[in-house]
Structure 1
Amino acid sequence: MIDFSLPGFDLSAFVRATLDEDLGLGLPGGGKDVTAESVIPATARFSGTMDSRDAIVAAGLPIAAAFFRALDPEMDIEMLVEEGAQVSAGTRLMRLSGNARAMLTAERSALNTVQHLSGIATMTRHYVDAMGNSGCVLLDTRKTIPGLRHLEKYATRTGGAKNHRMGLWDAAMIKDNHVLVAGDVGEAVRRARAAGVAEVICEVDRIDQIEPALAAGASHLLLDNMDVPTLREAVALVAGRVPTEASGGIDLDTIGPKAATGVTYVSVGRLTQSAPAADIGLDFTPL
């Protein structure tokens, strides 16, 4: 039994769909690992160790275990580090032993998941560290790979960020295209409030949009693509009436100064959009 759950995420369905994709289930000649089945005896057993070749924040290890257990329910799996642990290069993450074919068939799906999620968690931690002691909170965005949002946002949390909206349903976010249709920032916010939306995030890219957005009932201001002096001016004008969020083109070089302006949050799309996969390997030994 794998102890891992996320609201809205079906681990068993994800594991099954991922393995089925790799095995080519439903395709002509598919539904099997032709290499493992032709080369490895059905009764052969392996032991294996997953290790990190980089310094990382570990994320996704329970999901990797679920891949192996899906093909060998009796596989012996020992977690050697906790989720969210910051580990140095060369650290062993997981030890396992069981059916050799099952290990080889599940290997790539397990590694892909841990490499991707650990990469996101690691980049997130770099951004959190770059914010220093500003008291500002790092947010992720909806810039996620379709179908992987719950996992990728789990990885940013593991790295030290807080999730922004999970989707289109849990808050209104009024951006320039909404304003274009509504006519102005204040009218767009008023329409969202009139529709009964409790959480209304409004993007502003000019100082003169702040008061109309607040007067109409915005509960959160996204200060888009503002430089540091403008952010300071915006924060002073808002004066704590609602949370403020710096957003737009923020990288490791700019996040520190922007976080220090007094904004409540800084959001960074590249956490899920551009994080490189962590270098993690899995080595097997016949038993």
Structure 2
Amino acid sequence: MSITPATGQVEQTAISVQGLEKSFGQVNVLRGVDLDVARGDIFALLGSNGAGKTTVVKILSTLLRADAGTARVNGFDVRTQAADVRAAISLTGQFAAVDEILTGRENLVLVARLRHLPGPGAIADDLLRRFSLTEAANRRVATYSGGMRRRLDIAMSLIGNPPVIFLDEPTTGLDPEARIEVWHAVKELAEGGTTVLLTTQYLDEAEQLADRIAILHEGRIVVNGTLDELRQLLPPAEIEYVEKRPTLEDVFLSLVGTRTDKGQR
């Protein structure tokens, strides 16, 4: 089920997928996936393990070829214009791809130099500031917490200002506080105009971050819309009395605060 985007959004799509199919042997992983992602949006592709989320990301990032269907990223066809697609995207996988021997700043400078960008030091310093890592800039990454490593990993993926970024289950294995740190970083990406396609199996993550949510099940998109549109698919519950109770997140943050409050660890 697809809920039609608002008028004008289609013309501003950063990612367009139609009829995507992919099989591995006798296993049909994708069975005709259709989706559109508007520029500057955070789009959550939600599904359980094995639903095909990572396969979609690999096809869109030109790491895997689809058996059928079409896909365009930033206006380029992933099959016939793969080099243009790769120049327009960045991909952050499920595990942080950082060098633990180097400092956070050295990791960023290294990537900037590999991309032959002028002023790698200034680029590194700007990203460290954006991701609240300035105080930890000269510490070896081996001393970073999980949330700090993931934020550094996302920062590295932004070097060169790609208009589209793929985040494949970016908070897998992180503790609750680290997850919130990554959520904040992802929101800042979209506020800066970056289009984000996020895969996740966490319902609360999609609720917190996404402008639109698509649920991938058994290789097909079963629903696609905003959170409010998805909620309207179920009838409202009849409630006579509602008592506002704090969420687990409210309790957690009231007890431990945030790293922003306490400074970097």
Same fold (TM over 0.5): no
| Greater percentage in helix | 1
Q: TM-score, with normalisation over the residues of structure 1?
A: 0.30
Structure of greater Rg: 1
| Greater percentage in strand | 2
